[in-house]
Amino acid sequence: MKISIGCDHAGYQYKDMIKAALQAKGHELTDHGTNGPDSVDYPDFAHPLATAVEEGNSELGILICGSGNGVCMTANKHAGIRAALCWTVELGQLARQHNNANVLCLPARFIDEKLALEIVEAFLSTPFEGGRHANRVQKIGC
């Protein structure tokens, strides 16, 4: 699967860890940065990732910042993006299953690395259920 990943300074360690785990499973990753602890502006990384998913260059995206809120709000400004802030495995599953989310947002300061990987796995492996949810998802866009 082609996946884009990006973060701000609060999420770069999680990004590197998730990226390595996904590459080991054979996924193709596009890294939109950042790559260190120096303070950066999260929109500078969230917008290019959202564009990559919107344009079909990546099937799904993963964004990480301290709370997950900033990258989620930024990504959701893109018409073709359904970004979901998830801090439990069940939320990761439901974001895909019921909302057909195409970008997962993680709060690095509120979950540990093990849980982050579990959420990513749940998000990537859960298909959209469609059915009664399809009509709702079609109504999300403005």
Q: What is the 3-state secondary structure (H, E, C) of 92-111?
A: HHHHHHCCCCCEEEEECCCC
Instruction: Provide the Cα torsion 28, 32, 35, 41; round to 10°.
Output: -160
As a whole number, the mean pLDDT across the chain is 97
Q: For position 74, which CATH number holds?
A: 3.40.1400.10
Average pLDDT, integer, range 60-87: 98
The catalytic position among 9, 32, 78, 98 is 98
Is 133 an active-site residue? no
The catalytic position among 7, 9, 32, 65 is 65
- Tell me the two tokens of residue 44: 């500078």
Q: The whole model's pTM is what?
A: 0.97
Q: In DSSP terms, which residues pair with 28 in a beta bridge?
A: 2
How far apart, in whole angstroms, are the C-alpha atoms of residue 103 and residue 85?
A: 9
Containing domain of residue 12, as a range?
2-138
How far apart, in whole angstroms, are the C-alpha atoms of residue 24 and residue 18?
A: 10
The whole-number pLDDT of residue 142 equals 81
- pLDDT > 90 fraction of the chain, expressed in percent and rounded: 96
Q: State how many domains the chain has.
A: 1
Residue 85: CB atoms within 10 Å = 21
Is 86 an active-site residue? no
Inter-CA distances, 26 with 2, 13, 20, 21, 29, Å: 10, 20, 10, 9, 9
Average pLDDT, integer, range 110-133: 96
